[in-house]
Structure 1
């Protein structure tokens, strides 16, 4: 993820540049802090200006108080609006702007969706927020967010755990070799804590595993038997004893794998990223097929198990980004089989989610702050001028055009 920070003096220009794009359906307002937001995804430019001026003191000595940030995830990173909101908030908090008024816009005018953030580097007392070393701090913050959310890094290297394996194809021959390759690679690359999670992972490649128990000459033994399945999960062909593939995928090795995976997932907090992603997608739809498809785009496969009546009784998520296989209930009651069944059951299934409004924070009373025109909203601090660098050439051109319009209106009023 690449961040670009610019400072300037044109607050109205920065808000209008983003606001006009949003109001022309080329994006949406994702979230705000200390600024009015009706939750519609659009922005009232004048009310936004009023919100900033409620916060800013009448007199300021900071020459360029406006901060305009663009956050650009890698094109292959598929992020929900909820995840983008979280990323923007965390970025601003770590940068020292978490308590400032700000607007977070998502631009969709090009295929590479990205964020624009408008805020100010002046506190309520008119003091400037320390922005020294922002370039290096920003780079460190984006790296931290990349690791937390499983994103591609700024150098555009692929950080996701790819799955080059193919499903076992019984018609292709040498099934034993195909099956052996799959179980060895999966045991080396993934973390799973139960036999159920292991089976869910194997099912992606048309395989399953069963435990065997017995007693030979008075000695109890435990073993594993691997089988190839068809696309419906039915076993086909002869099963394979784990010993045919080596001790690394046998019963004792897999039991040790369970304990090791549990500790690694706990120590490295690997389940958190998967849970955040799954919940953000779940909040965005009541359509089960869309839920599964969206997660797959984000690098997470979903394995749902059903009763004969068609009710969900099990859910497992395979996160290829972290190499973790996690039962839904392990991540929380909200992702348990019962919770998912309820979420995807009528009257909600197939309907768009109910939009949530972001409440205006306390102390953000906008009454009595109306302004007759853009000039009065400037408050005498030069926030309407085009001085200082804008976030990009397009915004600079926008501000210049706005200034030309203003001059034309003045001439017309003078009868020129």
Structure 2
């Protein structure tokens, strides 16, 4: 079982996210504590808000009073609703939130049914509950519950690498359902800041997306259309409008996802770990195939785009360890498409690599990043208000790499 904890500001955002799942018949309210529950499996958001607010003062100094927790049993663990309720209650009691107001919603939008819990981390006097070693305690409780209920153990830090989503397979049938499940899972697990990065992520699963603009009865519309592709990236079959998969797959939701991702990557410096890994592999080879293969072994997929002449004009790295999709030029000029093209072009190819003083990630780096990923993940539930949309610079990466002046101090040893 995997436990994820998100800390946020917006109580309404957390409730609305779960309410939307219920309204779409993709979720069901299992149980509550100190929150109105009419027993129908639905959530009255207004009454739920009143219940939570009645248990906390109007003004509190706690900046992020909302906890949004997801408990994800292994797909092979078949559990009844009663068992899921018991697991949720025991988890919260052991965590120190058993007497807090909370609601537990079972999500059924993907084959792997899982739980979402909404609660608050302040008491009636507005004081923050003990959050010392919260995520470490959560991990210990998770292991205890796995043993008690005979659940499959699952380590979150390896989940994306060891259990990747499957590619969409048109021959397997029910393509619409495959696309919908995959798109929703990717939007929840990964961070991407531009449409180009989003397409790169989708390409790993034999999909692509295009923007659709038009005018109907004098009103402009802006939407997305998803298509299945073969392994070469060529479209196959009929396209699907995003409206078929719910609002979370639509244009506005994806634009908001760009902004949230930009803020998270910036605040938590998530690109640093990926950059260290890519540079450490790049310095060791001029062979492009080895470069891609060695990065994949580290849990990073590489998507390269070529001109008709075979020149690299785009490079995107999908880091499954941190859940970040990053255009190469976003991490620095040395990883831009132009720089990579030069690196992998003769006469360098086949020659011993030139030694560079590139900081190589250590085990401590991995542990620190994993801890950070545990302790401040906000995912795609819209708990926080991000800044404006990110700028899509991918298509101009080559031009920018040639024209942009270096404004930051060059890193010692890299000649930057």
TM range (shorter): 0.3 to 0.5
Return the TM-score normalized by structure 1.
Answer: 0.48
Relative contact order higher in (CA < 8 Å, ≥ 6 apart): 1
Structure with higher Rg: it is 1
